[in-house]
Amino acid sequence: MANVPTPDAVLEATEAAGYEGAICATLTPLIRRRLDDLASGQVLEIRTDDQSARLDVPSWCRLSGNPLVATLEEGPLIRFLIRKK
């Protein structure tokens, strides 16, 4: 259930944050805090190895209204591109 990114979407990230080892209970509050520092329309790239994030981050994006631009999987690492509403 991965979003198919366009090549440009990968280059649009305004800021990136690696949260390898973080569980989703702490991951979504960290995402919210990082998005608070961005202007509307900017894109945050999140990297995690928490496999439950595949479901939790897209759900959080829907609930928060911040669009999920892309989900990219590279081995155990999952990258999410989230556009601030």
- Residues 70-80 have pLDDT tens digits of 999 989 999 99
Structural domains in the chain, sorted by start = 8-83 (3.30.110.40)
Give how far Cα 24 sits from Cα of 30, 42, 54, 82, Å: 9, 23, 10, 16
| Residues above pLDDT 90, as percent of the chain | 55
The predicted structure's pLDDT at residue 42: 93
